[in-house]
Amino acid sequence: MRVKCVICDSINELDDDLPLAKKLRNRPIHTYTCPECYGRIAANTEKRLATGNFRFFRTSSPIDEEF
Ligand SMILES: [Zn+2]
């Protein structure tokens, strides 16, 4: 399936068998973030952790809560 990164609008092709592809199909509320943007967000999260302004979400994929 084709997915578009919500941050940089780049189009990527996801293997339909990937768990992420299934998740995006079944639950449209989930957004796709390309690996590059995902890495950027992870870096920002670390920064927030360092400043103490970070709140933990009880979820296996905290990135989904960002958008
Ligand atoms: Zn991106």
Q: Where are the domains of the chain?
A: 2-55
Q: How far is the CA of 33 from the centre of ligand 1 (A)?
A: 6
Comparing 49 with 6, the larger pLDDT belongs to 6
Q: How far is the CA of 56 from the centre of ligand 1 (A)?
A: 23
List, for residues 13-49, the tens digit of each pLDDT value.
999 999 989 988 887 677 899 999 999 999 988 887 7
pLDDT given for residue 39 in this prediction: 94
What is the 8-class DSSP label of residue 2?
A: E
Q: How far is the CA of 40 from the centre of ligand 1 (A)?
A: 9
Give the 3-state secondary structure percentages of the chain, helix then strand then coil, rounded to 5: 45, 10, 45
pLDDT given for residue 65 in this prediction: 54
Predicted confidence band at 10 (pLDDT cuts at 50, 70, 90)? very high
User: Is 45 within 8 Å of 54 (Cβ atoms)?
Assistant: yes
pLDDT given for residue 64 in this prediction: 57
Q: How far apart are CA 4 and CA 6, in angstroms?
A: 6
Asked whether the whole model's pTM tops 0.85, one would answer no
